[in-house]
Amino acid sequence: MKTFTLEQIAEITGGMLSKTHDVNITRIAPPLLADETTLALALGEDEIANMQNSKAKAALVPLGVNFDNISTIEVERPRLAMMKLITMFYEKPEFNKGIHERAVVHETAKIGQNVSIGANVVIGKNVVIGDNTEIMPNSYIGSGAIIGSNCFFHPSVNIGDNVVVGNSVILHHGVSLGADGFSFVTEAPDNIEKARQNGEITDGNVEQVIFKIPSIGSVIIGNNVEIGANTAIDRGTIENTTIGDNTKIDDLVMIGHNCKIGQGCLIVSQAGIAGSCVIGDRVVIAGQAGLADHIKIGSDSIITAKAGVTKSFAEKSIVVGIPAVPRKEFIKQLKIMKDAGDIIAKFRKYEPLLHSFEEEKV
């Protein structure tokens, strides 16, 4: 069991300690779940109020918050301090060190120092794996793939041929990197092409053979990237699909072929990014947002939840709605709808007078 003194925690979090008890901390928890050896996390108004019913003798709090007879560590950025605390107490999943006897490693693969490979992992030919990387059971690394140093792959990760993964990358359960892109073509223009050109569908009941376009590009993942469970990133058709350094991707995200995702982006669960999109640096794409293919989003933009993005937006845009528009325009639209509702209400109020006037005129 990990144990820390209040002085150690204050130093690590950069907080100011007001000590009333000499407590050794063995865990962290919300105030109502805390006991005498727990550091209570009283970071918001509700948690601060709950401290009066807590058994904790110590708490992490925002600047300026104090309690009678409770040691406090005051911090300027509570959420940042919480991250440091959780990192202190976090323990990675345990599994075998070294290469498990049931792993299948091709004889041409180059395995770095201090690498751990779990049971039922398959490593293809000419794969390169950097030092200190850990691959948990039931994963697959395709031929020619290059995996950097200090990576951690949770169970059942699937990496296609020739995919490149940078250093210090975390891949969660069921991540798929390098499947073929969703790319097809017909001999003659189909309804999708005609609708894009003319804005309408004029022909129907025309059967055509749909030909698959193979994907011969790859996927390039930068350094310090984290990708959530069951997220899929498809390989490029000819060029590579790329994910920039320090980008964090949630569970159940789909990123299509040829996409270029910048550095330091945050992409939240169930977002879908169609093929050939270009996303700048530090872009936030919130949950269930959908981006049409071949659009560009400038750096430092925010795509809000469930936005349906059908066109490109410049840098520092805040994009809202379906179809998505700049936030200021969206608010304007809401005001127009509200005003329209008020006008309709007034009309209905005076509608009998209007009918009376029309009848008198007749």
Q: Which neighbouring-strand residues pair with 129?
A: 111, 147
Q: What is the pLDDT of residue 189?
A: 75
Task: Single out the residue of 323, 307, 311 nearest to residue 272, CA to CA.
Answer: 307
The per-residue pLDDT for 362 is 56
State mean pLDDT over 73-96: 89
pLDDT in tens, 2-28: 899 999 999 999 999 998 878 899 999
Q: Who wins on pLDDT, 134 or 356?
A: 134
For tokens 């005051």, the residue is 74
Q: How confident is the model at residue 353 (pLDDT cuts 50, 70, 90)?
A: confident
pLDDT > 60? residue 326: yes
Residue 68: is its pLDDT beyond 90? no
Residue 257 is a catalytic residue: yes
Mean pLDDT of the region 59-69: 92
Active-site residue (options: 173, 257, 294, 355): 257
Here the tokens at position 302 are 């925010």
- The residue among 250 and 322 whose pLDDT is bigger is 250
User: Which CATH architecture group holds 104-320?
Assistant: 3 Solenoid (2.160)
User: What is the arrangement of strands in the sheet containing 260-261, beginning at the earlier edge strand?
Assistant: 110-111, 128-129, 146-147, 164-165, 219-221, 241-243, 260-261, 278-279, 296-297
Give 216's pLDDT tier (boundaries 50, 70, 90). very high
pLDDT at 350 over 90: no
Q: What is the pLDDT of residues 252-276, one digit of tens each?
A: 999 999 999 999 999 999 999 999 9
136: pLDDT confidence band, cut at 50, 70 and 90?
very high
* 205 — pLDDT class (breaks 50, 70, 90): low
In this predicted structure, the answer to whether residue 88 has a pLDDT above a threshold of 70 is: yes
Model confidence, pTM: 0.85
Delimit the domains of the chain by residue range.
4-89, 104-320, 326-362
pLDDT at 358: 66
Structure tokens given for 75 = 């911090």
User: Cα torsion at 332, 335, 339, 340 (round to 10°)?
Assistant: 70
Residue 192, pLDDT score: 75
Please count the other Cβ atoms lying within 10 Å of the Cβ belonging to residue 203. Answer: 10
Per-residue 3-state assignment (H helix, E strand, C coil) for the chain: CCCEEHHHHHHHHCCEEECCCCCEECEEECHHHCCCCEEEECCCHHHHHHHHHCCCCEEEEECCCCECCEEEEEECCHHHHHHHHHHHHCCCCCCCCCECCCCEECCCCEECCCCEECCCCEECCCCEECCCCEECCCCEECCCCEECCCCEECCCCEECCCCEECCCCEECCCCEEEECCCCEEECCCCHHHHHHHHCCCCCCCCCCCEEECCCCCCEEECCCCEECCCCEEECCCCCCEEECCCCEECCCCEECCCCEECCCCEECCCCEECCCCEECCCCEECCCCEECCCCEECCCCEECCCCEECCCECCCCEEECCCCEEHHHHHHHHHHHHHHHHHHHHHHHHHHHHHHHHHHHC
Residue 345 confidence class, pLDDT cut points 50, 70, 90: confident
Q: What is the mean pLDDT of the chain?
A: 91
Residue 230's CB is within 10 A of a number of other CB atoms, namely: 16
Cβ–Cβ contacts within 10 Å for residue 331, how many?
12
Determine which of 50-54, 165-169, 280-284, 351-355 has the lowest per-residue pLDDT on average: 351-355
Structure tokens belonging to residue 108: 């041409």
With 70 as the cut, is the pLDDT of residue 360 above it?
no
Which range has the worst mean pLDDT, 132-146, 177-191, 215-229? 177-191
CATH tag, 4-89: 3.40.1390.10
Model pLDDT, residue 200: 77
- For tokens 């950025």, name the residue: 77
